[in-house]
Amino acid sequence: MTPTQPTQINPHKNEDKMNESEITYRVDQLMDLGKASAIRGWSMENILKIIQNEFGPEGYEIARTYIVKDISGIEDEDAYIDNVIKEARKEKLMGSASDKMLEELEKDTSEE
């Protein structure tokens, strides 16, 4: 009788975790470089282009998820976008109302 080998569900699981930590480390590194540059900032688009070149499409997805969820703290991206759009529309409406009120006030004061 031969001993049975334990079944391994994903033989690359440790490799996947290693790759993920390499990617997140690289993202952090690129953010730090951006912050230290003359611009003093970073662009997710630029970071993702570099990550895709270095790690491929899977790396891109890991990096994007890391930036959106872990760095930015956005759990539900669609809900976040909807909320931002709603707030922008609200500000625009408020701005329009404020502009109209200012115009009326300017008319009133100029007539006096």
- Summarize pLDDT for 40-87 with one digit per residue, the tens: 999 999 999 999 999 999 999 999 999 999 999 999 999 999 998 888
Tally of structural domains, the chain: 2
User: Whole-angstrom Cα distance, residue 21 to residue 25?
Assistant: 6
What tokens were used for 23?
Answer: 């990617």
For residue 50, tell me if it sits in a domain: yes
How far from 40 is each of 20, 31, 33, 98, CA to CA, in Å?
26, 10, 9, 34
Does residue 67 share a domain with residue 30? yes
Q: Do 21 and 51 have their domain in common?
A: yes
- Residue 69's domain comprises 14-74
Nearest Cα to Cα of residue 59 among 44, 49, 73:
49
Q: Are residues 22 and 45 in the same domain?
A: yes
Residues 96 and 106 grouped into a single domain: yes
Tell me the per-residue pLDDT of 9-36, one tens digit each, with 9 for 90 and over: 444 455 666 699 999 999 999 999 999 9
Q: Report the alpha-carbon distance of residue 48 to residue 31 in Å, rounded.
A: 11
Q: Does residue 65 sit within a domain?
A: yes
Confirm whether 5 is domain-assigned. no
Looking at residue 109, what is its pLDDT?
73
pLDDT at residue number 3: 53
Give yes or no: residues 19 and 64 share one domain: yes
Shared domain for 62 and 105, answered yes or no, is no
Q: Is the pLDDT of residue 4 over 90?
A: no
Q: What's the start-to-end Cα distance of the chain, in Å? A: 107
Considering the domain architecture, whether residues 69 and 85 belong to the same structural domain is answered as: no
Q: Judge if 88 and 49 occupy the same domain.
A: no
* Judgement on whether residues 48 and 87 belong to the same structural domain of the protein: no
Distance CA 24, CA 62 (A): 8
Residue written as token pair 């688009």? 45
Give pLDDT, residue 104. Answer: 76
- Say which residue, 73 or 106, is predicted with more confidence: 73
Global confidence as pTM? 0.64
